[in-house]
Amino acid sequence: MSTTTVSPRTGRIPFPGTPAEAAVRLARAALHGADGTYTVYEREGAWWYAGGVRARLVADRTRVTLEHDGFRTEAAWQGDLLETVHRLLSSLPYADWRAYGWAAFELSYALAGETAELDGQPLVHLVVPRTEVRLRADGAEVLRCDEEAGEALLRALTDAEQPEPSRDGFTPLAVDLGGPGEAAYRDGVESAVADIRRGDLQKVILSRAVQVEGELDLPATYLRGRSANSPARSFLLDLGGIEAAGFSPETVVEVSADGRVSTQPLAGTRALSGDRAEDAARRAELLTDAKEIYEHAISVQVAWEEMRGVCREGSVRAEEFMTVKERGSVQHIASRVSGELADGDRGPWPALAAVFPAVTASGVPKRAAYRTIRRLEPGPRGLYSGAVLTVGADGSLDAALVLRTVFRQDGRTWLRAGAGIVEQSLPEREFEETCEKLRSVSRTLVPTRR
């Protein structure tokens, strides 16, 4: 089976509905049969659909494996996992590849040299797709299409008869946002504050998971969730044994093909009520709350230092400093730290290695935060607080922080959220903050039709 780039004469293909709806139709269409792998990724007003597997790269605690066109390469890594990832991807016999996938939170342990803390689960899972489509309001551009999937792709794009669940009379799947984990989470906050007061660390993000009972229509949940949220990035995927629909409030890192790089820390939170006057009052309170400002300031400081380590001297700067971004059911203090990536032959990966995991999902300092997270959270985080990302042969990379996400794996469906713990933290307030964040997704969970 061959893979070809669609002829320029195809042009832009008009489709009914929104780009998000068209992307979901492609995801539902099973264009590649039994190979159900796909990723939908939204960035700056466009949606990308990437389906099927042309090449696959998987990295774990000991090796990186690349498979393509019947070939398989395995490489043990030591010291720098992402350097091995870069080297294998650069060996692909394609001039214009783009990969889509994810990095688990536990990749941070590998980057820190703490491999003894890892099990055998994948840390990075990337796929170069057989079919790739960019969707905007003015039409779809087929960048690459498996020949046998072409007709099915066109049918899915132009099919106006695929109804999505109505927004009228919608009742989401019920989720107990408190549940039996409330007491354990509050105890964990108290323990984390004790660590901070001893001087072990300055800040840690402590998270908790809540189960979702019942059968969930994940693509429909993505559409409903996207209409209720205003994310920096959004994604819908079925890749590497896990399904997810998420509405990322911030990016971990953005790297352009010319080496410009930025990261966007968000820290400091207040709920959104929908009442304009009340939300304005909460915003004013957020920007004058000493605890929230401190939490944000140390996050920006860490991002600045991390960027200095990989950027040209004098190029790092803070932008959009302490603005407020509305993200679904909450509002956050936001800043952006940017720079110019130093010359090198490792592509965009040093930038990801420098800032991963996002300081707003780990803590300060990061290694001390890892120890507290491992001690107080039951089991690995996996995809939560890792990244969904896309990387290209041209040196560009875009990584969305995996928060405000519903996950499904091995018959289990769940949500997860965390709060930034500093010395001034109160257990009851931090628990309520996790509830505020969980509501960004819990209110949009669409049950499967009977």
d(CA 107, CA 60): 9
Q: Phi first, then psi: what are they for 408, rounded to 5°?
A: -140, 130
Q: Where are the beta strands (DSSP E) in 105-217?
A: 124-128, 131-136, 139-146, 203-211
Best CA proximity match to 383, nearest among 31, 121, 25? 121
- Pair 225, 322: CB distance under 8 Å: no
Residues 21, 42, 106, 250: which is the catalytic one? Answer: 250
Tokens describing residue 433: 């903050």
Task: Answer yes or no: are the C-beta atoms of 97 and 128 closer than 8 Å.
Answer: yes
Assess whether 132 carries a catalytic annotation: no
Query: 252: which 2 tokens?
Result: 């971990």
Reduce the DSSP state of residue 206 to 3 states and report it.
strand
Using an 8 Å Cβ cutoff, are 386 and 402 in contact? yes
What gap in Å lies between CA 442 and CA 160, rounded to an integer?
28
State both tokens at 36: 């159900």
Strands (E), 129-241: 131-136, 139-146, 203-211, 233-239
What's the rounded Cα separation, in Å, for the pair 220 and 333? 30
Angle made by CA atoms 38, 42, 47, in degrees to the nearest 5: 75
| Catalytic annotation, residues | 250
